[in-house]
A = this chain, B = another copy of it.
Amino acid sequence: MLIGEYTHNLDSKKRLSLPKKFRTELGKKVVITRGLDNCLFMFGEKEWKVTAKKLQELSFAQSDTRGFNRFMLSGAVEVDVDSVGRVLVPDFLKDFASLKSKVVLAGVSDRVEIWNEKSWSTYKGHIEKQADKMAEKLGEIGAL
């Protein structure tokens, strides 16, 4: 289970070190893709296969799911984790998510999201304000 929030540096060589707590679960190879809300998604190899399969099962008759497939799949890259636990973020993904040197890694159950630090704090401010509505949702699914 990938959970928690970490702020790391994306260095001049576009290397990003993964938080220790994520490394075992992600494994030696990870897949990074374009994500939603201007962040990147990062999956462990296994989880990626599950997600990719779900995407494949979407009908390609509809133009929007076709577009979504292209969005997720064409933007996906498999990268190795180096000896000290870092991954290399390709330019086009770095640009897509407007990543600067300060980057936030957020664990969301089966994936890690990679955010520009400022976008993250803005987004987080949003969702924190909506906490009350979220509590109602919690009630609906019976979590509280």
**Is there contact, CB below 8 Å, between B107 and A73?**
yes
Residues of B within 8 A of A65 (CB): 137
Q: Is the CB of A36 within 8 A of B69?
A: no
Beyond A56-B110, A143-B54, whether A3 also contacts B69 by CB under 8 A is no
Query: Can you give 14 contacting A-B residue pairs, CB < 8 Å?
Result: A1-B78, A3-B77, A4-B78, A21-B78, A36-B60, A36-B135, A54-B143, A60-B108, A67-B130, A68-B127, A69-B109, A70-B113, A71-B127, A96-B128
**Extra inter-chain contacts (7) besides given A65-B137, A73-B108, A74-B113, CB under 8 Å:** A4-B90, A5-B92, A36-B63, A36-B131, A54-B143, A68-B134, A69-B108
